[in-house]
Structure formats: structure tokens, C-alpha cells
Amino acid sequence: MPGVFIKTYGCQMNERDSEAVAAQLVAKGYTLAPSEAEADVILLNTCSVRDFAEQKAIGKMQNIAADVRKNRPDVVLGFLGCMAQSRGQELIDKLPDVDLVLGTQKFHHAADYLDAILAGRRKKIVDVALEQGSEATIREHLLNGNAQKSVTAFVSIMQGCNQYCTFCIVPYTRGEERSRTIPDIVAECRQLVAQGVKEITLLGQIVTSYGKRANFSRAGSPLPADGGASVPASRLVGSLAPPNDSGAHGVTRPTLQRSPFVQLLDAVHEIEGLERIRFTAPHPKGYGGDLIEAYARLPKLVESAHLPVQSGSDRVLKLMHRGYTRRRFLDLVEKLRQVRPDIGITTDIIVGFPGETEDDFEQTLSLAREVRFDNAYIFKYSPRRDTPAAAMPGQVPQKIREERNHRLLETVNEIGKRKYDAFVGRQTQILVEGPSRKNSTRLAGRTRCNKIVVFDGSDRHRGQLMDVKITRAGSFTLYGDPAILE
């Protein structure tokens, strides 16, 4: 059977999509090729968030095409995912060696299309149409294909994004928000746990918007029998979202409805054998009191939050259309730390957004110092087609974007180092995931607050929750003492 090699660019959503495509192909009899050189089908699953990511994938395909067309003309070449969605036919016009262009709502057709191309029934296929119900099709996992079973798994709970941040291409590449039903997601999680998975990360572009769109109620019966349990308002620590526990005339309601996302967390939390729940990515404005309260209430929900802040300047946040202020973001961090003092907080920040002045940037630096993020992903602003920010006045020169990126990185690394150093000497719980990526003779696990710990252990520790003593901190990695293992 044909061997397929998939290379993935971009976020965890893309990783998950690639895994689902690979699992789909394996189920149809394809094998997974260890490298491009040994593959009959080469697929690049692409990212469009920044121009750099697009150029990397295009350059890679040019190189592959030049090589395989010379020596192995029958190899099938394809683009999948976000760039395939936004560029469509244009990719084949530019790179005529490409046979398949498959958009973000079409991953589940990959096997049928490849069969047709390999059998010579079809020559070129471009499918980037919208497809109703496609949000529920990213469900196959590769667990059984692995020699070693996975301890962690990602579960896609929704597709699309309705935020329309002015810098972001995602609403155009991923489409409108569409959520799977709670029973459907829980069934997938249960199956994973039955296969040995201990930790599940719920995935979506904006998970805090889960179930908020009209299609949700029509999609089955996602709400629990009580229509969404409620919690006493007195137990809430507060909310970044506009308060909804007091009425328009100041009449205080005694309870707060749980959002569909918190209902989903509740339902997944009940799965026996599941040890840990994570999610990514939330939107800071989606943190209602019910979600903060969930951190206090649900022990399997780990103390870790990726909160993309993007900027520390209110003026820039407004231009970005983020829907919160610096103050509200800082309040959210404070509330999360009140509920879970050890919470690990990471973020995304864009530098050089159009119109960003030195003063705006200084405010981002000061926010980073004030929050003391455990880590931050810093992006130089990249103009994206069809997004409002690309046409905004005051585009920041590349040299300044680079200089701000460098300064912010220095600050973030310095704070990160201090935070990691503070773990040395402490005992902490890790979930052992498997061999360390950098040194396969050692094992790696993750703390609840999402820090990687490398240690000398044996394969029997895989999948175990264990306490290790931290002996050393490296660059965004901790090292544990094997002496206290048993």
C-alpha cells in the first residue's frame, strides 16, 4: 500500500488535523512513511497565520517537487489546511506539480481523493468548499498505530472563529465557529481513556466560545438535563466578562449559569481514569466567573492557562479588536492566581502592530513584567490578506519590529528563567509522557502547570503520575532527581 508522509506547519490544531488525516489513511491501508524520500504521497499541512509560515511551506513544496519529479514522477503532492483554504487553485497555478489542495473543512475526504489520484481516476483535485458538519470529523487518533501508546491526546471540540481580530486570518481560513456536541466529545474522550490516555487537551481556535453559536442547540442535545447547572454567586471570584450575576437594575441574582464550555469541562471531568484536563486556546474575554470557579471546583483541570494578551496598550488592544483592556486582563490573571496560586500562565504577544508607538510597546514590556508570564510566544506583526490591519496606517518598519521582538524576548526569557529557577529544590507532580525529545535515553513528563521535566527513569514509569524533586532548571525545561523515584 502507498506510504504517506505528512509535514505539519503551525499550531496544535494543525498537528491534530494531521494526526486525524494520518489515522484516516492508515485505516484505509496506507502506511506512514518515515521520510519524504520513502513516500508515495507527500502532504504539507499548512499555516497562514504569518507570511513566513506560508513562504516556508511554498519553498518546501518547490524543493520536494524539483526532487521527486526528476526521480519519482508518480509521487502525489498535496497542500492541506489553512493556506490551502485561503489560496486554493492559485497554489496549483503557481506550483503545477501539486496534485491536491484540500481546505480546512475537507480533511475527512483525504483518503478518497488520494485513492482517486493514485488510481488515475482524477488528475488534480482542489476542494476548499465549506461543509456542514465538518467540525465533527476530526476524531480519528493514531494511538493504535504507535508502538508505544500515548499518555496524552488532543481532542478537537470546535472549528472556526468569529472574533475577527483585525490582524488575524483565522476566521477566513477556518470559517465560522462550529461546535461539536458534548456527548460526541465525551464519547471520544472516553474511548481515548479506555486506550490508556491520562491527559486530554480540549482544542479549538477560541475554546471559550464553545457552544455559543446557533448551530450548537440544533446539533443534538448538548446540554445536561438540568439545562446547565448553576453555582452560587457567592462562590465566584469574579469575571473578566461583563458581570452576569447582577441584573440591569442592580438586582443580584443568586446563581450563575454555566457556559457551554464549562458544562463540557464538567462532563469530561466525570470520566473515570482521566487524570488531567487542559484546553487551548481560550480568549481572555471568554473567562467568565463560571470558568474561574471551575478551576477551584475541578481537580482534574490543571493549573495552567494560555492567555493570548497580544499587547499591553489599551490603544493597540482596541485597534486589534480584542474586546478587553489591560486592566481587565490583569484582573483576570489576579483572579486565576487567587484560585490557583501555582497556575502557569503563558501568552501570545504581537509586536509592531500598525500604529504601535514606542510608548505602546513600553506598555507591553511593563505588562510582561507585571504578569510575570511563565513563557510567551512573541510574533512580529505580519500583514495578512483581507484583514483590516493590513490596510491600517502606520505600518511599523521591519527593523523596528525586529528590535522590539528582541527586547521583549529578552524580558520574557529573563522572567521565565527566574520562574523556572524557583522550582529547583521543590517536589512536584509530573505525568510521565515518554522519552525526552532531545535525549531519548531519558524520560520526560509534564507538571500540572505545563512545564517539561526531564529525568532518568525507565519505561515502566510511562503513563504514571509521580512526584519528582527538581534539581536543575535549563532553558524552559526542568530536570528531576532520579534518586527519589520509586
Candidates 59-67, 187-195, 377-385, 440-448; binding stretch for ligand SAM (CB under 6 A): 377-385
Degrees to nearest 5, angle at CA 93 with 105 and 381: 65
Cβ neighbors of 183 (< 8 A, separation 6 or more) are 220, 221, 222
Q: In terms of CB distance, is 352 or 480 closer to ligand SAM?
A: 352
159 touches 174 (CB < 8 A)? yes
Q: In terms of CB distance, is 186 or 400 closer to ligand SAM?
A: 400
Among 44, 76, 350, 396, binds ligand SAM (CB under 6 A): 350
DSSP of 314-353 = HHHHHHHT-S--HHHHHHHHHHHHHH-TT-EEEEEEEES-
Q: What are phi and psi of 21, to 5 degrees?
A: -65, -45
Among 111, 158, 168, 200, binds ligand SAM (CB under 6 A): 168
Q: In terms of CB distance, is 64 or 82 closer to ligand SAM?
A: 82
All three cell numbers of 111, joined, read: 483518503
Q: In terms of CB distance, is 46 or 382 closer to ligand SAM?
A: 382
CB of residue 168 vs ligand SAM: minimum separation in angstroms?
Answer: 4
Among 44, 49, 236, 332, binds ligand SAM (CB under 6 A): 49
Q: How many residues bind ligand SAM (CB under 6 A)?
A: 19
Cα Rg of the chain, angstroms: 23
Reduced to 3 states, what is the DSSP secondary structure of residue 309?
coil
Which residues in the 231-260 window bind ligand SAM by CB under 6 A? none
CB of residue 118 vs ligand SAM: minimum separation in angstroms?
Answer: 33
Among 4, 25, 206, 408, binds ligand SAM (CB under 6 A): 206
DSSP of 270-289 = T-TT--EEEEE---GGG--H
Q: Which stretches of 225-308 are assigned E, i.e. beta strand?
A: 230-232, 255-257, 276-280, 304-306
Task: Provide the 8-state DSSP code for 130.
Answer: -
CB of residue 361 vs ligand SAM: minimum separation in angstroms?
Answer: 15
In whole angstroms, what is the distance from residue 112 CA to residue 351 CA? Answer: 42
Which residues in the 292-311 window bind ligand SAM by CB under 6 A? 308, 310
DSSP of 167-189 = T--HHHHH-S-EE--HHHHHHHH
Residue 82 in contact with ligand SAM, rule: CB under 6 A: no
> What's at 459, amino acid-wise?
D
Stretch 261-290: interaction string toward ligand SAM, x if CB under 6 A: --------------------x-x-------
Stretch 88-127: interaction string toward ligand SAM, x if CB under 6 A: ----------------------------------------
Among 205, 239, 263, 428, binds ligand SAM (CB under 6 A): 205
In whole angstroms, what is the distance from residue 263 CA to residue 179 CA? Answer: 13
Q: In terms of CB distance, is 97 or 314 closer to ligand SAM?
A: 314
Residue 170 in contact with ligand SAM, rule: CB under 6 A: yes
CB of residue 281 vs ligand SAM: minimum separation in angstroms?
Answer: 4
CB of residue 161 vs ligand SAM: minimum separation in angstroms?
Answer: 7
Three-state SS sequence of 405-433:
HHHHHHHHHHHHHHHHHCCCCCEEEEEEE
Q: Which residues bind ligand SAM (CB under 6 A)?
A: 11, 49-50, 165, 167-168, 170, 205-206, 281, 283, 308, 310, 348, 350, 379, 381-382, 384
